[in-house]
Amino acid sequence: MSAPSPTLAPWPYPRWIAHRGAGKLAPENTLAAFRLGAQHGYRMFECDAKLSADGVPFLMHDATLQRTTNGRGTGGDLPWSDLAQLDAGAWHSRSYAGEPLPTLANVARYCIANGFFLNIEIKPTPGTEAETGRVVAAHAARLWHGQPVPPLLTSFQPAALAGARDSAPYLPRGLLLDTLTEGWLDTALQLGCVAVVCNHALWSTDTVGMVHGAGLRTLSYTVNDDWAAQRLIDLGTDGIITDRVDLFSPASAA
């Protein structure tokens, strides 16, 4: 007789998650994007966090500064005092010119004050995976201390998740995947993850069943079409990360 599958623990997060704040409608990973996402009814946001040269967690996706700021070079090579002077909005549109890079502390204050939920993707500068995981998790544990729902920490980098686990083991973690490499579910379980976050095309009846059967939740990125969202809802997945905060209304969608 086979052993019963683990029961899924209660999941405190909303299904709909705004990618990098408000998708592409505002400069990604800025407080302006969070505010716009909130105006569209979103209560949970995804963002990317990395470390400055002096160990300050701040929001940025790329390793380099050129795409989303007026800076040059690798963001992780600069101290926060330099990064804080950069314009992180003008690249998007003139109306956002002068928007600064936020620290993780800035974002924490905004989310806690408004009762919002956060998915922090740990996005290390290459070569700093374990350190970034440890420091981001330690800051998140301190910033959300005493709050009813902690942030969900995710990463494509197992070393970053291991660092987060070692630093703040009680914070929930999720393994990000863009392909289903051999042993992917075992990796998530060994890291003590509560979720697997996949490219949405990777989810099927079988993969959802495997993950739910292991007691983990199933999240998807980056879902921008009605048909893809409906497929994931029909499969019974637990979270959908989207750029299209203007298309999907989390207040009315299942």
CA 113/CA 93 separation, integer angstroms: 28
Q: Which residues of 50-73 are buried (b: 16+ CB within 10 A; e: fewer)?
A: bbbbeebbbbbbbbbbeebbebee
DSSP class per residue in 149-188: SPPEEEES-HHHHHHHHHH-TTS-EEEEESS--TTHHHHH
Tokens linked to 165: 């686990």
40 a catalytic residue: no
Q: If we measure between CA atoms, which residue out of 130, 114, 94, 92 comes closest to residue 45?
A: 114
Q: Which member of 19, 139, 200, 212 is catalytic?
A: 19
On whether the CB atoms of residues 191 and 165 are closer than 8 A, the answer is yes
Which amino acid is present at 96?
Y
In the residue annotation, 200 being an active-site residue is answered as: no
For the chain, give the number of residues: 254
Q: Given 40, 61, 92, 200, which residue is catalytic?
A: 61
Residues assigned a catalytic role? 19, 61
